[in-house]
Amino acid sequence: MTTSAAQRALIVIDAQYGFMPGGGLPVAGGDAIVPVINRIAPRFANAVLTQDWHPADHISFASNHPGRQPFETIPLPYGPQVLWPTHCVQGTRDAALHDELRVPQAQLILRKGFHREVDSYSAFMEADRATTTGLAAYLQARGITQLVLCGLATDYCVAWSALDARAAGFEVAVVEDACRAIDLNGSLAKAWADMAAAGVQRIQSADVH
């Protein structure tokens, strides 16, 4: 990828306490990504942070479906939906970005998952595949063409964001060691395969210059 600094952006996906050890939906080793992100962030003039921001009665929470358990799948009008433990509820510590995250140049914090009736993994498009977050239009309006993604979790919000970014016409790379995965029923291997097929580059933090 040879692009000017002005055309490149770092997208940090959901580096929130809810996905860290001790959070509502912890990702193993999730807190280990913070120093890696902090190390690569100064190399970017442009950065966007995303933040899962759910109402307490969100449709994806198992607690809102009596008799259902986390990680079961149910049918919803837009398709199958994994039920999750309650996490990243609006205004709670669980929803806060990690205190040690250092991306002071971030120009946008994009909140997603705030519509009660639809889940939202991707930073670009909600799970109904019809409701946009507006991120693609924002980046395009600013002349940004190349995206470097990192964050949590590799196989859900990062992968969905990467795939949607490619579909929107961006060049995309995912920094593997600045991500961690949930890996539910082989979801990590599938995510990397899907991203590779879509032309997403798989890189390491040492490759970011």
In a domain, 63, yes or no: no
In a domain, 70, yes or no: no
- The pLDDT value recorded for residue 28 is 96
Distance CA 44, CA 9 (A): 6
In a domain, 76, yes or no: no
Residues of the chain with pLDDT under 50: 1
In a domain, 78, yes or no: no
In a domain, 68, yes or no: no
In a domain, 72, yes or no: no
Catalytic residues: 14, 112, 157
In a domain, 66, yes or no: no
In a domain, 75, yes or no: no
Identify which of 56, 71, 31 has the alpha carbon closest to the alpha carbon of residue 151.
31
Q: What is the pTM of this model?
A: 0.96
CATH assignment at residue 100 = 3.40.50.850
Q: Angle 96-102-103 (CA atoms, 0-180°, nearest 5)?
A: 95
- The pLDDT value recorded for residue 1 is 46
Distance CA 41, CA 125 (A): 24
Distance CA 98, CA 82 (A): 25
- The pLDDT value recorded for residue 4 is 87
Instruction: Kindly calculate the radius of gyration of the chain based on its CA atoms and give it in whole angstroms.
Output: 16
Over residues 131-165, the pLDDT tens digits come to 999 999 999 999 999 999 999 999 999 999 999 99
- The pLDDT value recorded for residue 168 is 98
44, 47, 101, 107, 207 from 104: Cα distances, Å: 11, 9, 9, 8, 22
Residue 163 belongs to what H/E stretch? helix 159-167
Range of the domain at 186: 5-55+85-207
- Sequence-distant (≥ 6) Cβ neighbours of residue 46 within 8 angstroms: 5, 6, 8, 9, 10, 105, 107, 142, 144
According to DSSP H, which parts of 23-81 are helical? Answer: 33-40
Domain count, the chain: 1
